[in-house]
Amino acid sequence: MVGVSEDDTGLSPMRNPGISLVRKERMASLRPELDKARAHNDSFDALVNHRKEQDGQAPQNPENPHTPQDQPTPPVLTARDLVRGHRMDIWDEQRNAWFSLHARDVEYRRSHGGPLLLTASDEGFFQTHAVAPPNGSALHIPEPLAVWHGWSLSAPLPGLVLDTDEGDPDSHRPPNPPVPLRNEAPPGVPLEITVRAGRGSLPALRYRHAYRVRLRTVDLAGHGLDLDQADALMHLPGVTIPDRPLVFQRFEAVSAPAVVPRLPLAEGASTFRMVIRSSPGDQPPPAAPPGPAGSGTRVSLANVQPGLKNADIAVVQRALIALGHDLPGGADGSFGKLTRAAYTAEQRDQGFSGSDADGAPGCESLTKLGLKGGFTVDCGPGSRPAPDTGSTAERYAEEFNRSPLVVKEGHRPYQGADERHVVAPKVALQCVEWHGLLDEAIGSTDPTVQNAVYELAVRESGSLEDPGPDVRLEPVDSPAADPEHPAVIALHG
């Protein structure tokens, strides 16, 4: 069996939970604390039983019923033994102040929507541990003590929560619908408590911002230093503060973009496989034409000769200009001295020399120019035929779509180009908030700003298969598809 060495560590999590407060080797430090707490509990039990015996509420010593048990020694408690929990504070370098993560506003009401009885503003706290070692089994304790994800540690997040309703497939009711958070009192309890984070009490958690962390202890009665007292304590002699603050950084990788088809997928194609078809030849088809002439332009060698003027010469002139040859008059369709000089330069570029580079087009030189310029050449009867260059994907699709297979038998038409949309990946709204993209609307009363940020926030909802003006849903013929929930593919125009 392959073992893992003690020095090996796991990979970092894919999602950043926030700023975590971690106690290294917490299990080792927790064991003596649990043993000490058990000893204190046993001492208190012995002391209570002794007093009950003195009051006649407990049996006497069974070995000598007439001799009272010796007075147990009460445990000696230190301040550390009376710690009930902690309050976590955050220093925000942007605002140059300490903030409590436990400030809260509390409402006390009679149960079941009764009248408001009391409101109070105080601080909650968190407990580092409230566990006991299980009997006869290993003790497993997580090292994180608290995690700040940008909100209060003593009040719930605003908004909706998932309900415990399991749903009903027969009535198409989905499970766990989002509902408002409720704190309903159980039967027999006449009080309901609602807790909210204190208004303006929280710092903002943002990437690349610097923070510091401190803890304030809370005793058994819930008392402890407030923010002002803790600030004053930090200015006492001998109190040191780390020089460098903690910079909150993003560690999760950027997800790959989504790929979305624009047109129905033909045979051989898929969302991640693009297919185009063209007829084969012994050479590649001509390049795209440099001018406005469409694909598949054909010129006659007999028409492209010095002294003539026609449309074929204009096609050749556009190809010469696209290759960098100088034609001040442009593609005017007239084969004069300037065009002959430009064609001579092209012949030399192709490797011709002497009388073969005299500026008069031949079948071979004009065909080579056509391969680069996007036209084919008819060299005339008796000449060596031009190479079979096949047809482009556009021409192949055009010819195939005129065939009876498409026109009469309903075969899906081919396309000269196969395209996909590449959609930016979706991220969680919390990640968007941590990047500070929603900050402009916080505290703003400008409806334009609020609407712009709202439009950004709602991008988290929905999917690429939601109907829309540019979205067409087409069914996918699959024998494995559920008849009540047929498979569809979303085409984005």
With respect to residue 312, please indicate whether it lies within any of the assigned structural domains.
Answer: yes
pTM as predicted = 0.63
* Residue 140 in this model has a pLDDT that exceeds 80: no
Q: Are 304 and 375 in contact (CB under 8 A)?
A: no
- pLDDT tens digits for 170-212? 888 888 888 888 888 888 888 999 999 999 999 999 999 999 9
Same domain, 343 and 281: yes
Q: Are residues 352 and 237 in the same domain?
A: no
Residue 66 pLDDT > 50: no
Count of domains forming the chain: 2
Provide the pLDDT confidence category of residue 2 given band limits of 50, 70 and 90: very low
Per residue in 430-476, pLDDT tens? 889 999 999 999 888 999 999 999 988 888 788 888 888 888 888 87
Same domain, residue pair 98 and 242: yes
Q: Based on the fold, state whether residues 88 and 232 are members of the same structural domain.
A: yes
The candidate with the shortest Cα–Cα distance to 261, out of 465, 462, 492, 464, is: 492
Q: Do 146 and 153 touch, CB atoms closer than 8 A? A: yes
pLDDT of residue 263: 86
Helix 311-322 / helix 337-349 crossing angle, nearest 10 deg: 50
Q: How far apart are CA 26 and CA 29, in angstroms?
A: 5
**103 and 234 within one domain:** yes
In a domain, 361, yes or no: yes
232 & 366 share domain: no
Dist. CA 223–CA 32, nearest whole Å: 25
- Let me know whether 195 and 235 are in one domain: yes
Residues, the chain, total? 493
Mean model confidence pLDDT for the chain: 83
Domain containing 178 equals 81-166+174-247
pLDDT in tens, 253-282: 888 898 999 888 888 888 889 888 876 655
259, part of any domain: no
**Closest to 471 in 3D by CA, of 487, 452, 492, 453:** 492
Question: Of 196, 228, 247, which residue constitutes the final position of a domain?
Answer: 247
Instruction: Decide: 393 and 419 in contact? Cβ < 8 Å.
Output: no
H or E element that contains 26? helix 26-54
The pLDDT score that the predictor gives to residue 135 is 61
Residue 119's pLDDT band, with cuts at 50, 70 and 90, is very high
Tokens standing for residue 356: 């073969």
| pLDDT exceeds 50 at position 292 | no
Per-residue pLDDT tens over the stretch 11-27: 655 667 899 988 888 87
Print burial letters for 36-75: b (CB count within 10 Å at least 16), e (below 16): eeeeeeeeeebeeebeeeeeeeeeeeeeeeeeeeeebeee
